[in-house]
């Protein structure tokens, strides 16, 4: 059963990571080259999203985490099944640290996006420099986490006795992947990373919905004074942000699954894989909201798809006509 589950999870991560890379790459291209003037400033935030989420998808493919918390203990075991197993513990540790720091930055970026839409309704005097400075300011906590968390990891020889004691029913010698872990979650950098990954999720989620409600109320009140173009842009971005507001549910669910396992409330192989199998939804679903709800992006994608379909249809029709002509010529030849 474990082998079948590993195969399913590997397939799951591979498919979603590849889709996420493609979607975020497409969004990055559109944000850089196809953004209309009216959303040029906001495209900076879109590019930030696309770069963050594309790197997160690539790293998910590289590490593919199975997390084994130690109930009521300050230790944690990781089993990595991604391509990093062909390297060493240090490479895998850095990969895990960078991946998690991208997830936290993505959550902060979503909060920035909602705050920007709300602020822009009252003070449209913003520059790209201001937005970049805000992004960097919110990135600092994630950067500190990414730069320090990897130093807490130890290799198989050190974590194996702890893993065997906490999970006596597991035969770690038969389990595939690279085994590593953290022996002291109360170290400064480990505790900081743990708190940064878990504590902000619920307050940020609540703040996002509060901002969304305020934005909708303000737009409704000033609806009659806005130009048609401004109304359209606000509606498109608000629809995108509304869908994006649902995305942190993945982070929220992953955090509470982890806490449930850490405190011994829930356990099982399924939940060990579930934590980061849920998280992969965030960087995959995020670009879809922009590609669907931002009209210039949607129109560009539809034109490309329709043009490709039309080309394929025309080529098929040409082949059919050629085949028909050859058949007719063969019939005429046989008559003579």
All structural domains of the chain with their residue ranges: 2-293
Q: What's the rounded Cα separation, in Å, for the pair 216 and 158? A: 54
Return the structure tokens found at 146.
């990414």
In angstroms, rounded to a whole number, what is the distance separating the alpha carbons of residues 75 and 95?
Answer: 19
CA distance 61 to 317: 40
Q: Which of 246, 209, 286, 232 is nearest to 45 (CA)?
A: 286
The pLDDT assigned to 323 comes to 47
**Contacts of 194 by beta carbon, 8 Å cutoff, 6+ apart:** 185
Residue range 2-293 forms a domain whose CATH class is mainly alpha
Could you tell me which of 278, 274, 270, 271 has the C-alpha nearest to residue 251?
A: 278
pLDDT score of 100: 94
- From first to last of its 336 residues, the chain has per-residue pLDDT tens of 467 777 888 899 999 999 999 999 999 999 999 888 878 888 999 999 999 999 999 999 999 999 999 988 899 999 999 999 999 999 999 999 999 999 999 989 989 988 988 888 777 677 889 999 999 999 999 999 999 999 999 999 999 999 999 999 888 887 778 999 999 999 999 999 999 998 988 898 889 888 888 887 877 776 666 666 666 766 666 676 677 778 778 888 888 899 899 888 998 888 999 999 988 888 998 899 888 888 888 888 888 877 654 544 445 444 444 444 445 434 443 444
pLDDT attached to residue 24: 96
């Amino acid at each position: 059963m474990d082998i079948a589950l590993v195969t399913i999870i590997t397939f799951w991560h591979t498919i979603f990571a590849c889709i996420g890379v493609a979607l975020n790459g497409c969004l990055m291209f559109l944000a850089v080259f196809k953004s209309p003037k009216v959303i040029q400033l906001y495209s900076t935030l879109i590019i930030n999203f696309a770069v963050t989420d594309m790197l997160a998808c690539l790293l998910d493919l590289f590490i593919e985490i199975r997390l084994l918390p130690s109930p009521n203990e300050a230790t944690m075991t990781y089993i990595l099944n991604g391509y990093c197993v062909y390297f060493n513990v240090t490479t895998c540790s850095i990969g895990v640290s960078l991946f998690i720091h991208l997830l936290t930055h993505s959550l902060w970026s979503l909060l920035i996006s909602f705050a920007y839409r709300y602020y822009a309704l009252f003070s449209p005097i913003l520059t790209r420099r201001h937005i970049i400075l805000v992004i960097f300011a919110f990135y600092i906590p994630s950067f500190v986490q990414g730069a320090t968390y990897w130093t807490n990891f130890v290799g198989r020889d050190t974590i194996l006795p702890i893993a065997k004691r906490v999970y006596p029913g597991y035969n770690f010698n038969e389990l595939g992947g690279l085994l590593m872990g953290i022996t002291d979650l109360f170290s400064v950098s480990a505790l900081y990373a743990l708190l940064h990954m878990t504590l902000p999720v619920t307050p940020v989620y609540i703040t996002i919905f509060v901002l969304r409600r305020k934005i909708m109320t303000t737009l409704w009140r000033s609806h009659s004074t806005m130009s048609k173009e401004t109304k359209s842009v606000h509606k498109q971005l608000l629809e995108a942000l509304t869908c994006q507001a649902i995305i942190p549910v993945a982070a929220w669910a992953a955090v509470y699954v982890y806490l449930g396992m850490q405190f011994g409330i829930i356990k099982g192989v399924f939940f060990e894989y579930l934590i980061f199998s849920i998280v992969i939804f965030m960087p995959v679903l995020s670009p879809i909201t922009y590609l669907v709800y931002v009209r210039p992006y949607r129109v560009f994608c539809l034109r490309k798809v329709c043009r490709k379909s039309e080309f394929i249809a025309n080529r098929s029709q040409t082949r059919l006509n050629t085949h028909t002509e050859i058949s007719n010529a063969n019939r005429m030849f046989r008559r003579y």
